[in-house]
A and B are shown apart, each in its own frame.
Chain A
Amino acid sequence: MGKRTNLFLLLGGGLTALMVGLALLGTFWTPYSPTAMGAGEKFAPPSLAHLLGTDNFGRDVFSRVLQGMGASLLIAACVVAIGCLAGTLVGCLCGYFGGPADYLLTRLCDAVTAFPSVLLALVIVSLAGRGTAQIVVALGILFIPSFARLVRGETARHRQANYIQSARLMGVSHGRILTAHILPNLWGVLGPGVVIGFNNAVLSEASMSFLGLGVQPPFPSLGSMLSDSQTYLQRAPWYALSAGMAIALLILGFSLLAEGLQRRRRA
């Protein structure tokens, strides 16, 4: 492969940068207040004043999409951070030390993965109550197994390598072998893993908010906008389309980026 341009990385990186940029912009500035009712007429179609039209309360859809993306991404970032940090810790320890604890934790991860994640999140939210923090914790816990499994496999593979045996002979401690010898070898798989995790987290958050369990009104979230707009699908198709397209473009960007990163790693 060599010098051939990585189109996936280029397109995915560009699209992701654009969407994240818009979301960042939305947290600081929006054309109208996303929660202000009557910013324009109800169900106004897209125009120069309202780029993506207005919704059933006359709120500016573009402003709501901007801020909704910001909320979605922030939640996704927290979810991935919890999943990645805890998953890497569990995976490293299991893969390196093995033994009965590894067996037990691996089975537990398999069991968690076997359930549909939205279903499990529903259970957690119904126990802990609805709200943004609950969603973050519930999804964060559900994201641990995929990272743990990824890291465990890689760690177990490296543990067998001669350079780790050499390090043991040199008298390097287990802790340092894990952090200084094995961890730097994991970035290659963790990178795409984090991006795919982002992808899944955005989708999961949208699903939860769609079901009314995530971000609470009046604050916008892509999932809840999609849910609200269903009723007006024929009257104001731009409302549903805007929220849907924002989700689709975010996911597309992350997917392309993950694919690009994996291709670069293989090359």
Chain B
Amino acid sequence: MRILEVEHLSAWYPSGRTRRQVLEDVSFTLDRGQVLGLVGESGCGKTTLARAILGLHRACAGVVRHAFPRPQMVFQDPYGSLNPAHTLLWTLEEPLRAIGTGRKERRDRAMELLDRVGLGPEYAGRYPQELSGGQRQRAAIAAAVIARPALVVADEPVSALDVTVQRQILDLLAELKRDDSLSYLFISHDLNVVYQICDRILVMDKGRIVEENDTDTLFAAPKHPFTKKLLEAAE
């Protein structure tokens, strides 16, 4: 089942009197339960694509179709993705409040999810400032998935973390996906990370998709010169 269809998506940034095109005619689809990787060098338009898909970037043209409402996003910077004025419990309950879940169920689900992301009930009353980067990213992921979205767009979710924590967060994302038939659009500049978690991969260069294939084929037999260059650089 298709949960996301993107057709002929283009996007711009205003630059002086003209506009600078950052996405050019991007089309792809994402099936339920799949992890789609989006790789490319920094500045190639990956984050703009993520924001355009979620409706956070206005200056764009094309069609984006979501099969389910309220896709969520996990950001690169774990320091800015949690509200510093609220406890983790409040932050986890907020998506449920927005869809009108009752008080008791909100609390139960928040506590259960805290446990599942490896933070435990003692973190319920903590503020983001009291957590490490990895813990914050766990909390941010919990807040993204608590209302059971079908799609989570993860924009470089492990790039700001050190390698051991990266591994833990990737495992957590994989585990949440197994249980909840979630789909991810997983954005990264790091091919090693993408290889570990993605089923299919889109390679992006200068605002265009230059190659798309399933992970094993892409790594074994890259076709586009840019993909080859990326793979060589990663080794």
Contact = CB atoms under 8 A, between A and B. Distances in A.
Interface of A: 161-163, 165-172, 180-181, 184-185, 187
B82 A163 contact: yes
B49 to A, nearest CB: 15
Interface of A is mostly: helix
Counting chain B CB atoms within 10 Å of each CB, which of A161, A162, A171 scores highest?
A: A162
B80 A170 contact: no
13 contacts: A163-B91, A165-B73, A165-B75, A166-B73, A166-B143, A169-B56, A169-B72, A170-B94, A171-B70, A171-B99, A181-B83, A184-B83, A184-B85
B83 A165 contact: no
A213 to B, nearest CB: 41
Given A169-B73, A170-B72, A163 B99 contact: no
B84 A170 contact: no
B89 interface: no
A187 B54 CA distance: 31
Given A171-B70, A172-B94, A166 B144 contact: yes
B71 A169 contact: yes
Contacts of B65: none
Nearest to B85: A184
4 closest A-B pairs by beta carbon, nearest first, are A184-B85, A162-B81, A170-B95, A162-B75
Given A161-B80, A184-B85, A166 B72 contact: yes
B204 interface: no
Given A161-B80, A165-B73, 6 more contacts: A162-B77, A169-B70, A170-B70, A171-B70, A184-B83, A184-B85
Interface of B: 54, 56, 69-73, 75, 77, 80-86, 91, 94-95, 98-99, 140, 143-144, 147
Contacts of B56: 165, 168-169
A184 B86 contact: yes
A172 B98 contact: yes
A183 to B, nearest CB: 8
B71 to A, nearest CB: 7
Contacts of B91: 163
B223 to A, nearest CB: 35
Contacts of B54: 169
Contacts of A184: 83, 85-86
B50 to A, nearest CB: 11
Nearest to B144: A166
B72 A185 contact: no
Contacts of B72: 166, 169-170
Contacts of B94: 167, 170, 172, 180
A167 B144 CA distance: 10
